[in-house]
Structures are given as C-alpha cells and as structure tokens.
C-alpha cells in the first residue's frame, strides 16, 4: 500500500518584529493560543509544559476539541536552526514529534517547520513561513482537514502577532 506524503505551505507577513515572533514560537502558551478556542493543548507530564520550548524537548500533550472532545495525544519534539540567506537571517523552529493516538495517529511522518525572518521592505514586520509535511496511510484523507486547520492558524497568527511585542512602544516618542 502506498503512503502519500502531503504538504501544506503558508507564507505571509505579520505585524511584529522577528524577535517577538521567535519568542512566540518558543512559548507553549502562545502556540496554544493559536489553536484556541478550537483545540486545547494539555501536558501529559507532571511537570507541565515548559515555560519555553528548548531544542531537544520531548513533551507529550493531550489535544481536545473545544476543550471537551478528546482528539488524541501528540508528542512534540522541538528543534531549531538558523540559516543565513542573502535577504537576511532565517530562524526555523521545528516540531518533528508524532501523533500518538487519535485521528492523526495513522500518520507516520509529522514535520512542522515555522520560519521567521525580517519582512522584505517592511521594517518591524516579520515574514512567517509555515510548512507541514505529513505522511501515512490516511494522509490524503486528512489533508483537507489539516489544510483547513492551517488556514485557521494563519488567521490566528496574524491576529495574535501584534500582541507578541516584548516591549510596548511608547505613546510619546518626542517626550512631549
């Protein structure tokens, strides 16, 4: 039986600087907000979610739709890398964990990479690239559901990005 490999790619500009976007990618709280209120993410380890994802983290979580309908367990495995491109530095956060139970557990590949870099010709903004590659016997059937979820993610990233700024801009720059 052939297993299909599927991809979902997003590329858009968000209203925060790349450092704020990078911090948000490392924040389990910010990541959980991206899926809210559709999907809740609860840790399955007594220590809870880390304050910030670190390379090498392996964190099992329980997913629930609307906080009530169990959607399965997922292992989040965090890694990161930096690529210097002609247009500037690109920082890439990767979750290469795997669905453990639930509807997505039929997938045997889960590779979610999110890249942030300065937006070309838009100072203070970030170019966000989101790539999900998944494969398994049900990948083709799950593609429309995951594609829809990623459209929701894009809307949520755009809506939440302005709140990720570390330091609020002063109201009065001239001191008047």
Of 62, 148, 52, give the one whose Cα is nearest residue 99: 62
Give residue 83's pLDDT.
Answer: 96
pLDDT at residue 58, as a whole number: 93
| pLDDT above 50 (res 29) | yes
Angle between helices 28-35 and 18-25 (to 10 degrees): 90
Question: In the structure, what pLDDT confidence band is assigned to residue 164 with cuts at 50, 70 and 90?
Answer: very high
pLDDT tens readout for residues 49-92: 899 999 999 999 999 888 888 889 999 999 999 999 887 899 99
pLDDT at 165: 83
Measured CA to CA in angstroms, residue 105 lies from 37, 40, 62, 78, 134 at distances of 22, 17, 13, 19, 11
C-beta separation of 7 from 131 below 8 A = yes
51/140 Cα distance (integer angstroms): 35
Q: pLDDT, tens digit, for every residue of 99-130?
A: 999 989 999 999 999 999 999 999 999 999 99
pTM: 0.88
Domains annotated on the chain, with CATH: 4-164 (3.30.530.20)
């Amino acid at each position: 039986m052939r297993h299909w490999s599927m991809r979902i790619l997003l590329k858009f500009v968000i209203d925060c600087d790349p450092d704020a976007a990078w911090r948000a990618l490392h924040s389990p709280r910010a990541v959980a907000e991206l899926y809210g209120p559709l999907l809740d993410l609860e840790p399955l380890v007594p220590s809870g979610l880390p304050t910030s994802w670190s390379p090498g983290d392996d964190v099992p979580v329980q997913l629930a739709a609307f906080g009530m309908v169990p959607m399965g367990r997922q292992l989040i495995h965090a890694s990161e890398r930096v690529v210097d491109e002609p247009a500037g530095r690109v920082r890439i956060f990767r979750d290469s964990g795997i669905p453990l139970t639930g509807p997505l557990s039929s997938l045997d590949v889960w590779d979610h990479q999110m890249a942030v870099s300065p937006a070309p010709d838009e100072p203070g903004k970030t170019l966000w690239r989101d790539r999900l590659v998944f494969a398994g016997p049900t990948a083709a059937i799950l593609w429309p559901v995951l594609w829809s979820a990623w459209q929701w993610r894009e809307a949520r990233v755009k809506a939440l990005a302005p709140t990720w700024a570390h330091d609020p801009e002063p109201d009065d720059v001239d001191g008047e």
